Amino acid sequence: MTNANAHLHSDLFKPVQLGAVQLQNRIVMAPLTRSRAKAGDVPTELAAEYYAQRAGAGLIIAEATQISPQGKGYAWTPGIYNESHVAGWKKITDAVHAKGGRIFLQLWHVGRISHPDLQPGNALPVAPSAIKPDGNAFTESGFKPFVEPRALEASELPAIVEQYKIAAQLSLQAGFDGVEIHAANGYLLDQFLRDKTNQRTDNYGGSIENRARLLLEVVEAVTSVIPSERVGIRLSPISPANDIADSNPKALFSYVVEQLNRYKLVYLHVVEGATGGPREVDGGFDLQVLRDLFKGIYIANNGYDLEMAVKARDRNLADLVAFGRPWIANPDLVERFKAGAALAEFNQATLYGGGAEGYTDYPPMQQS
């Protein structure tokens, strides 16, 4: 083997079992919001083409998908709460399966990361506490400053837990191989976990146990209706994404992961560092602690390239490695990695919204 092919020894490129399903390799496509759903939050046929082009991933984790109209926080994101969503997603899962791929759906409630323009009846977005995030919402008429959200009543939480449960059932009806509970990146479940955004004084705020309660109720509900070997979870324990922080992330997330072990989830997917930014963060901690605590598959993400991924496997720092941005302009990313080929760069202007341009028109390697 020549030095240029040294990576080919890696079991990154070999099949592996993930609960109920076999993956062709250990390379995952991380969830990527592309804001191209049509009216009624229905995913399009174009999305079927887009995901099928990327079916060479061991596992695709499809983009964050709202579990209810209230859970929406960006223009043109898809939903998973009614029959038209199931029908739309079915075309996508069929297209991916036809090419030998596997696909999970990421279940999403944005909490305060929304805007009245995106909410039913132009209502205020909801959150654990009425604390306005810094930054802007992406609405159909452009970026608009976030507003102060409405603090949820404890009596409203069971209905949200129920929505996750229904969304999980609908996901399997739509042909997904499983679901990923989105508890990362400063959205609703993460807002409950971390103390910058959760200042409640009831059973859902204060102590770590209380702040983890909603997440664990969601996990319990989802695993009560679909097999736990089809349920994964995403955390971003030290990411400041969406203006979030915690005073003791190591204690908080160690507790969360220990509790998650009760539910035998198939994987823990960790955004290591600031999402899409530095892997080392002030006030952070060594995330291998979480991998060591978790009794299941560990998916690492954030800023990986091929060399880092090979190293992570050689040193057994991760079971699977998820890539986000590299998949956008490289639909055949696994083939390019195998060939040691250069990667194409994506066009920033076509990331969110629009049609085929910058979505399904990135060519595979031979043509580029």
Ligand X SMILES: Cc1cc2nc3c(=O)[nH]c(=O)nc-3n(C[C@H](O)[C@H](O)[C@H](O)COP(=O)(O)O)c2cc1C
Q: Which residues are catalytic?
A: 187
Give the tokens for residue 45: 């046929």
CA distances from 41 to 12, 95, 229 (A): 35, 20, 28
Give the tokens for residue 26: 């250990």
Listed ranges 49-57, 92-100, 279-287, 323-331: which one lies at the site for ligand X (CB under 6 A): 323-331
Residue ranges in 97-126 that form contacts with ligand X under rule CB under 6 A? 106
Of 19, 24, 27, 31, the one binding ligand X (CB under 6 A) is: 31
Shortest reach from residue 132's CB to ligand X, in Å: 22
Kindly tell me which of 68 and 302 has the beta carbon lying closer to ligand X. 302
Does residue 234 belong to the site contacting ligand X (CB under 6 A)? Answer: yes
Question: Other CB atoms closer than 10 Å to residue 226's CB: what's the count?
Answer: 17
Q: What residues pair up with 271 in beta bridges, in sequence order?
A: 301
Element (H, E) at 312: helix 306-314
In contact, 79 and 93? CB cutoff 8 Å: no
Kindly tell me which of 267 and 304 has the beta carbon lying closer to ligand X. 304
DSSP 112-134: TSS-GGGSGGGPPPEESS--PPS
Site track 63-102 with ligand X (rule: CB under 6 A), x = hit: xx--------------------------------------
Kindly tell me which of 60 and 151 has the beta carbon lying closer to ligand X. 60
Q: Which among 300, 346, 302 is positioned nearest to 12, based on CA atoms?
A: 300
Shortest reach from residue 279's CB to ligand X, in Å: 9
Residues in contact with ligand X, counted by CB under 6 A, come to a total of 22
Residue ranges in 154-183 that form contacts with ligand X under rule CB under 6 A? 182
Cα–Cα distance between 273 and 303 in angstroms, integer?
A: 9
* Interacting residues with ligand X (CB under 6 A): 30-33, 63-64, 106, 182, 184-185, 234, 271, 275-276, 301-304, 323-325, 351
